[in-house]
């Protein structure tokens, strides 16, 4: 099932802010590249992160190699708009006339979600780009999508746009985009969440919303899990141990409290979400770097 996941053309990773979307994105990219796939990570939020996680400088709007077979790019609205408009309008002068006059710029900010449209358009273009006929340039494109609310807006942009606009080249592309995002053989959206109340609730809501919008989903990643480590008897015994064991006792109690929350939310999610659940343990690394990504990639590979 995991290998099947990495055999898609496009994976979109979303979830509540702070749940570790970029970490999971980076780890999935690493796992796929190790299988010999040529992978492109597309980041669309204001601050680029994935290149840094691999200890590399930010890629910016140019595609950069991070590791063998693993590339990343930062998709920004302004550049994406220009490239995309040029693809449709063909002529630089026409582009300048329509897009680079002050009046038109105001106008474009009124078009709902135009920034999202062009950014998603750029990602879609990468995902479908062919090196030569029938041979895609990228085996897998992974989109580090915006957080929950905005993530849903982002992924449903073609649908919303098509409600407003039915004709024109943009509408045609949006239709293609929607069919790529909606095809379970080519695309999956994965939710990342934490064993805490709000992130877990949001994951459940998001799961329902993605389903309602007919967007096929991959496994749910439950990040930052604690496994039980002490039996109740052990904790009672340590608690009776007096001052010499006070610190150890508190640490054990804290640990078990978090393990309880992990198993509570794993079971809540298991009941409300009909997707495979991949648990990622909490990592105690002092610096979150390539080694930590390696660990997570290893866990995902094992789970797949």
Partner 1 sequence: MSRPNLAEILDGRKVVCCVGSGGVGKTTTAAAIALQFAVDGKRVLVLTIDPARRLANSLGLESLGNRETRIDPKLFAAAGLQPKGEMWAMMLDLKLTWDELVTKQSASRAQAEDILKNRIYQTLSTAMAGSLEYMAMEKVYEVASSGRFDAVVLDTPPTSNALDFLHAADRILGVLDNNAMRIILGPMLKASKVGFRLLAVPSSLVLKTLSRFTGAEFLKDLAAFMLAFEGMFEGFKDRAARVNKLMRSPEAAFVLVTSPTPLTIQEALFFHGALKADGVPTSAVIVNRVQRDPRRLGGPDNPAALREALQLAGLKDENELAQRLGKTLTEQATLADLDRREIARLEGTLKATPLFTVPRLRKDVHDLTGLWQIDNCLFAGGE
- Contacting partner 1 within 216-275 (CB under 8 A): 229-230, 234, 237-238, 240-248, 250-255, 257, 261
Shortest distance, CB of residue 292 to partner 1, whole angstroms? 13
DSSP-derived letter for residue 15 is E
Phi then psi for 238, rounded to 5 degrees? -65, -40
Look up residue 269 and give its two tokens: 């999610």
Question: How far is Cα of residue 40 from the mean position of the Cα atoms in its chain?
Answer: 13
Shortest distance, CB of residue 180 to partner 1, whole angstroms? 21
One-character DSSP codes across 64-76: EEEETTEEEEE--
Distance CA 113, CA 14 (A): 18
- Judged by CB under 8 A, which stretch of 2-10, 104-112, 175-183, 292-300 contacts partner 1? 104-112
Tell me which residues in 45-74 interact with partner 1 (CB under 8 A): 45-46
Q: Does 212 bind partner 1 (CB under 8 A)?
A: no
Shortest distance, CB of residue 235 to partner 1, whole angstroms? 10
Instruction: Report which of 29, 58, 17 is spatially closest to residue 191, judged by C-alpha positions.
Output: 17
- Judged by CB under 8 A, which stretch of 33-41, 137-145, 195-203, 209-217 contacts partner 1? 195-203
Q: What is the sign, positive or negative, of the torsion defined by CA atoms of 295, 296, 301, 304?
A: positive
Is residue 220 within 8 A of residue 203, CB to CB? The reply is: yes
Question: How far is Cα of residue 174 from the mean position of the Cα atoms in its chain?
Answer: 21
Give 88: exposed, middle or buried? Use CB within 10 Å, 0-12, 13-18, 19+: middle
Shortest distance, CB of residue 60 to partner 1, whole angstroms? 19
Q: Residue 9 or 16: which CB sits closer to partner 1?
A: 16
Shortest distance, CB of residue 183 to partner 1, whole angstroms? 24
Shortest distance, CB of residue 229 to partner 1, whole angstroms? 6
DSSP-derived letter for residue 242 is -
Is residue 289 within 8 A of residue 50, CB to CB? The reply is: no
For residue 168, give Cα distances in angstroms to 90, 161, 164, 258: 15, 12, 12, 53
Q: Residue 261 or 273: which CB sits closer to partner 1?
A: 261
Q: Residue 8 or 122: which CB sits closer to partner 1?
A: 122
Shortest distance, CB of residue 204 to partner 1, whole angstroms? 10
SS3 state of residue 86? helix
Question: Which of 98, 176, 274, 291 touches partner 1 by CB under 8 A?
Answer: 98
The footprint of partner 1 on this chain (CB under 8 A) covers a number of residues equal to 71
Shortest distance, CB of residue 234 to partner 1, whole angstroms? 6
H helical segments located in 35-100: 50-53, 77-89, 92-99
Q: Residue 4 or 257: which CB sits closer to partner 1?
A: 257
What binding mask, one character per residue, do residues 145-174 give for partner 1 by CB under 8 A, x or -?
--xxxx--x------x--xxxxxxxxx---
Tell me which residues in 107-146 interact with partner 1 (CB under 8 A): 107, 109-113, 115
Tell me which residues in 18-47 interact with partner 1 (CB under 8 A): 18-19, 45-46
């Amino acid at each position: 099932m995991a290998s099947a996941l990495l055999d898609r053309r496009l994976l979109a990773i979303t979830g509540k802010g702070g749940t570790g979307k970029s970490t999971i994105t980076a780890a999935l990219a690493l796992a796929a590249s190790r299988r010999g796939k040529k992978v492109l990570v597309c980041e669309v939020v204001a601050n680029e992160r994935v290149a840094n996680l691999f200890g590399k400088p930010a890629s910016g709007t140019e595609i950069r190699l991070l590791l063998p077979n693993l590339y990343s790019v930062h998709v920004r609205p302004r550049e994406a708009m220009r490239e995309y408009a040029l693809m449709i309008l063909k002529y630089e002068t026409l582009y300048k006339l329509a897009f680079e006059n002050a009046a038109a710029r105001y106008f474009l900010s009124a078009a709902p979600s135009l920034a999202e449209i062009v950014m998603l358009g750029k990602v879609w273009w990468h995902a479908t780009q062919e090196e030569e006929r029938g041979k895609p340039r990228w085996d897998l494109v992974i989109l580090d999508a915006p957080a929950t609310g905005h993530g849903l807006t982002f992924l449903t942009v073609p649908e919303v746009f098509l409600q407003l606009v039915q004709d024109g080249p943009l509408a045609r592309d949006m239709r293609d985009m929607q069919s790529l995002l909606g095809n379970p053989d080519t695309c999956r959206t994965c939710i990342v969440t934490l064993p805490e109340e709000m992130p877990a609730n949001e994951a459940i809501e998001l799961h329902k919303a993605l389903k309602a919008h007919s967007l096929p989903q991959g496994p749910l990643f439950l990040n930052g899990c604690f496994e039980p480590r002490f039996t109740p008897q052990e904790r009672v015994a340590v608690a009776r141990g007096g001052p010499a064991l006070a610190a150890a006792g508190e640490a054990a109690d804290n640990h078990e409290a978090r393990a309880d929350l992990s198993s509570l939310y794993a079971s809540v999610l298991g009941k409300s979400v009909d997707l495979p659940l991949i648990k990622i343990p909490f990592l105690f690394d002092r610096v979150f770097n390539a080694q930590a990504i390696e660990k997570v990639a290893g866990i995902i590979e094992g789970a797949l």
